[in-house]
Amino acid sequence: MIADLIQENDTPLQWMRVDPELLWIRKVEMQQADYMWVYQLYKDRHVVAQVEAMQGLCKGMLAPEPNADGSLPVVSDATRQKCCRVLQETLENPQIFYAVRGRAAKILGRLCLLRAEEDSDGVSHIQRHFFGCPHLLQCARALFVDEETQLPLPNRFNDLDGYQLRLEVIDALATCREEARDQAGGAVATSQVYNLLHDLLEYNDNSQNGAYSDGDYVAALLVALGRACSSLFDEVEETRKLMERYLQRELLMPSFAHRVTCAALSALQSLQYRRLVPLDLQLFLRHAKVGQSTQVRCGAVQCLARMSAMQPALLQPLLRLLALEQVARVRHALLRAMLDGPAALIRKRKVLDAPTKENIAVVNALWGFLNEGSSYDVRSRFLAASLYTLLLGEGHPECMRVHESYGQRLSALPSERELESLRYDAKKQSLKVTLPRASDLRKGKTGAAAGRGDLGGKSKQSGMSVIREAKAIKSGSPRPSSLSAEEQLAKQQEERERRARERERTQTVEVSGLD
């Protein structure tokens, strides 16, 4: 490739870079000829320079969009062939750093062009055509499949760079199918990607790998197969059976840190979220119970948290689990999974804005955990605060505010005039009581029967008790208790005799003073 470029473009200036030592905090957008990007990729040994060269060379073919005037961007066939050839050679070159080769695989799988296609009704739609997928499949088959038997090669992980490259290529295949299946005819065009991933799992052979475990490798394949699965043919059923098979295998031969179990749960959750298989939350609840390993519980609660975007009713049990959970790692996994995407979707759909009992319970549960349940765990407290802000905003939650229709049904407060009429005024309220007669008292009638008057709605007996208390206070004697008629007559007679003696004593003193 370099020899062809030298013959075509013989120039002393091969490529340009700004701040090659990465000393400035900046964002640079470079535009240079295609051959200059190729020179930079092959001759500059800096990893960042190589990645920038690949991205600059394929800039107009990674997620392209229509122009401002509605026209489609045009890319020549020579440019497309050059990009595919350069990326394919980079992927197959063992002298290049494996991370650069993995980035080349991901870029190669995402190369696409915009095309206007008409449906059966004659309506034109803009679709993406992924022309880099066949080249990526060719490189993947050379890496994984035996040319003679067309079966996957046995695992040999003694080369660490080759092992990391395989993981990167598997992720690139899943990304290619994931982006292409949403386009018209894209799932059919990339069906061989699913077939390759399925065969790698179906015929996985680790017998010749020595002491190296294939747990992480199988986990990466399971996650990639779940992402690449579509509704075509029997892909869903085959994927579900394969996931259940590896879950049963984990019960007999568990992998390190139960990576295969966590990957199978994640793949099944992806299928359920896209409604390719029936919803089964009990599967994740069984693996989230106390008694399972911490890694499995973390994977299960992460699946439940991601499902809350589709099932908002899961928020309340998840927050209850968060409040009762004793393992800090499980709490952190649950909160991070909520922050990764479901919380933003719930906020965008305004699920928690309605003033219902369920939404208020969610707000109270999260607020209680933030102020009480996380007092001993600083990391959980910060994650919970971020989740509260992302779910409910920075102000007062909408569901906790009084609704306008409810406020209209409330009775109006009394006016100042009505309050003034309710206040007590001694001048306006008078007490009129007719004292009982002596003949009535001799007959044994109580003051309640003899008294007549108006005490403002109170009984006449109460009025008589008020009069007795007033007389007792005026005379300085203690308040009388409830006495019978005979005792009252005797007490009144004693009181009259005492007053007569005091009056006579006063008159005697006055007369003696005159003498």
- H, E, C per residue of 346-413: HHHHCHHHCCCHHHHHHHHHHHHHHHHHCCCCHHHHHHHHHHHHHHHCCCCCHHHCCCHHHHHHCCCC
Model pLDDT for residues 44-95, shown as the tens digit of each residue: 889 999 999 999 999 888 878 888 777 788 888 888 888 999 999 999 999 9
Which residue in this structure is represented by tokens 């229709």? 405
Mean pLDDT for the chain?
A: 82
Model pLDDT for residues 401-432, shown as the tens digit of each residue: 754 444 444 455 566 777 676 665 655 555 45
The strand pairing partners of 105, in sequence order, are none
State the Cα–Cα distance between residues 437 and 513, nearest whole angstrom.
40
pTM of the model: 0.74
Reported as a pLDDT band with limits 50, 70 and 90, residue 448 is very low
- Residue (of 86, 83, 28) closest to 59 by Cα position: 83
Pairing of strands 432-434, 452-454: antiparallel
Q: Are 320 and 365 in contact (CB under 8 A)?
A: yes
State the Cα–Cα distance between residues 375 and 359, nearest whole angstrom.
24
Interacting residues of 388 by C-beta distance below 8 A, sequence separation 6+? 366, 367, 370
Interacting residues of 61 by C-beta distance below 8 A, sequence separation 6+? 75, 80, 83, 111, 112, 113
- Residue (of 61, 118, 50) closest to 84 by Cα position: 61
- Of the two residues 4 and 300, the one the predictor is more confident about is 300
The SS3 of residue 76 is coil
For 376, list phi and psi in degrees, rounded to 5.
-100, 0
Of 180-194, 337-351, 386-400, the least confident: 180-194
The SS3 of residue 118 is strand
Interhelix angle 235-252/215-228, nearest 10 degrees: 160
Residue 196 in this model has a pLDDT that exceeds 90: yes
For 113, list phi and psi in degrees, rounded to 5.
-130, 155
- Of the two residues 271 and 458, the one the predictor is more confident about is 271
Model pLDDT for residues 108-153, shown as the tens digit of each residue: 999 988 887 777 677 777 888 888 999 999 999 999 999 888 899 9
